[in-house]
């Protein structure tokens, strides 16, 4: 090789190397920790993860190409959630997506420096997770599940679809003491005006759920209000089946109860927050701080009615209720 050609080749390589290095830096593999407080094989878990990944892809983050999603599953077990949060932090993620109050609490306990985006949390300020909705502070921000006031609507809706209900059990998770108490208080506030006597049913596992519902359902004027929690989500099929067996008109907080045979649900879309969370994760990966990203509330609430279940309970759904339903399952 002639000396002039060698120098030209060397010079070209010197120019190309910084360009390649900059491209490699731009494509550095980022890490996202994902902690979902349901089982890995739960269809709801899979739908939530898929929605999150879809949202990321639309923003240019492709799992396996420029980002790696490291998922852990809580399956409603407090010890597993805590150990999973510690495992995620040990992988040195750039950001963590924590779903539910237990997952968020475990994530915050594991780190106060890694940015955390949360979903499915009812009262992040009251729970001490953030300083305020507009200025979260610290390393955490995210998306509120719903406000306590929504819970009172559940009893109103139950009374509308089943006017004969005069007693209602309120099924709540013993592990979510503060949030369950807040939701129960909102339900209790409207109960006298609706002529409904409430019976709290605090449960910890499937056996207690079965015992509580079976013991309560003694008369023809009974109903059931199910408070949203990891426990009731995990055992949704059992709860719906018990309500059917005991012929209990029941109202639920999310659509996935109604699609599994529940009578009626009213609440936010359980999947949409994961698409929205992808936007916050994107902004954090691009340099923004969680403290500058305000906590957001649901955009809308959906009313879903299962007509097949209503017919099995000999309930005639008011036409006005059908008209305002977002979805009717036949």
DSSP tally for the chain: helices H, then strands E? 13, 12
Q: What mean pLDDT is predicted for residues 81-87?
A: 96
Token pair 């999973």: residue:
84
Judged by average pLDDT, the poorest of 55-69, 105-119, 174-188, 233-247 is 174-188
Return the number of other C-beta atoms located less than 10 Å from residue 188's C-beta: 16
Axis crossing angle, helix 43-58 with helix 272-285, rounded to the nearest 10: 40
**pLDDT for residue 223 is more than 90:** yes
Q: Taking a C-beta distance cutoff of 8 angstroms, is the pair 103, 79 a contact?
A: no
Q: Taking a C-beta distance cutoff of 8 angstroms, is the pair 287, 277 a contact?
A: no
Return the number of other C-beta atoms located less than 10 Å from residue 63's C-beta: 14
- DSSP state, residue 292: G
- Which band of pLDDT confidence, cut at 50, 70 and 90, is reported for residue 246? very high
Token pair 């077990």: residue:
77
Q: Taking a C-beta distance cutoff of 8 angstroms, is the pair 242, 226 a contact?
A: no
pLDDT at 300: 87
Q: Which of 100, 152, 153, 154 is nearest to 127 (CA)?
A: 100
Name which CATH class applies to 25-145+270-299: alpha beta
State which H helix or E strand residue 268 sits in.
strand 264-268
- DSSP state, residue 290: G
pLDDT at 22: 43
In CATH terms, the superfamily for domain 150-268+302-329 is Response regulator (3.40.50.2300)
pLDDT at 175: 82
Of the chain, the percentage scoring pLDDT greater than 90 comes to: 81
- Cα separation, 253 vs 310, in Å, equals 17
Domains 25-145+270-299 and 150-268+302-329 share a fold: yes
Helix %, strand %, coil % for the chain, to 5? Answer: 45, 20, 35
User: What does the mean pLDDT of the chain come to?
Assistant: 91
Tens digits of residue pLDDT in 273-319? 999 999 999 999 999 999 999 999 998 899 999 999 999 999 999 99
Of the chain, the percentage scoring pLDDT greater than 70 comes to: 92
Domain assignments of the chain as residue spans, ordered by start:
25-145+270-299, 150-268+302-329
Axis crossing angle, helix 206-216 with helix 236-245, rounded to the nearest 10: 20
- Which band of pLDDT confidence, cut at 50, 70 and 90, is reported for residue 3? very low
Spell out the alpha helix ranges (H) of the chain.
3-26, 43-58, 78-90, 101-110, 150-161, 177-194, 206-216, 230-234, 236-245, 255-258, 272-285, 307-312, 319-324
Q: Taking a C-beta distance cutoff of 8 angstroms, is the pair 97, 49 a contact?
A: no
Q: Which of 212, 160, 149 is nearest to 185 (CA)?
A: 149
- Which band of pLDDT confidence, cut at 50, 70 and 90, is reported for residue 25? very low
Chain mean position to CA 299: 14
Return the number of other C-beta atoms located less than 10 Å from residue 224's C-beta: 28
Length of the chain: 330
pLDDT at 10: 43
**Joined tokens for residue 46:** 């899979």
């Amino acid at each position: 090789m002639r000396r002039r050609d060698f120098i030209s080749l060397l010079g070209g390589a010197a120019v190309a190397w910084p360009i390649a290095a900059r491209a490699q830096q731009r494509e550095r593999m980022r890490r996202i920790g994902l902690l979902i407080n349901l089982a890995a094989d739960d269809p709801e878990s899979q739908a939530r993860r898929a929605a999150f990944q879809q949202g990321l892809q639309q923003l240019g983050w492709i799992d396996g190409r420029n980002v790696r999603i490291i998922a852990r599953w809580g399956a409603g077990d407090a010890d597993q959630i805590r150990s999973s949060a510690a495992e995620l932090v040990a992988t040195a993620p750039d950001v963590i997506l924590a779903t539910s109050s237990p997952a968020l609490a475990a994530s915050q306990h594991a780190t106060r420096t890694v940015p955390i985006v949360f979903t499915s949390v009812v009262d992040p300020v009251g729970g001490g997770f953030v300083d305020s909705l507009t200025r979260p502070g610290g390393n955490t921000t995210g998306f509120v599940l719903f406000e306590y006031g929504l819970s009172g609507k559940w009893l109103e809706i139950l009374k509308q679809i089943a006017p004969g209900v005069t007693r209602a059990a309120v099924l709540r998770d013993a592990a979510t003491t503060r949030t369950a108490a807040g939701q129960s208080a909102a339900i209790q506030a409207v109960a006298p005006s609706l002529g409904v006597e409430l019976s709290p049913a605090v449960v910890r596992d499937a056996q207690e759920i079965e015992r509580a519902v079976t013991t309560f359902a003694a008369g023809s004027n009974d109903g059931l209000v199910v408070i949203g929690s990891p426990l009731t989500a995990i055992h949704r099929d059992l709860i719906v089946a018990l309500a059917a067996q005991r012929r209990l008109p029941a109202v639920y907080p999310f659509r996935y109860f109604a699609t599994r045979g529940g009578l009626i649900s009213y609440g936010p879309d359980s999947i949409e927050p994961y698409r929205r969370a992808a936007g916050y994760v994107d902004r954090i990966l691009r340099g923004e701080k969680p403290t500058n990203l305000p906590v957001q509330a649901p955009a809308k609430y959906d009313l879903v009615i299962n007509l097949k279940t209503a017919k099995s309970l000999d309930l005639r759904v008011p036409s006005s209720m059908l008209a305002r339903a977002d979805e009717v399952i036949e």
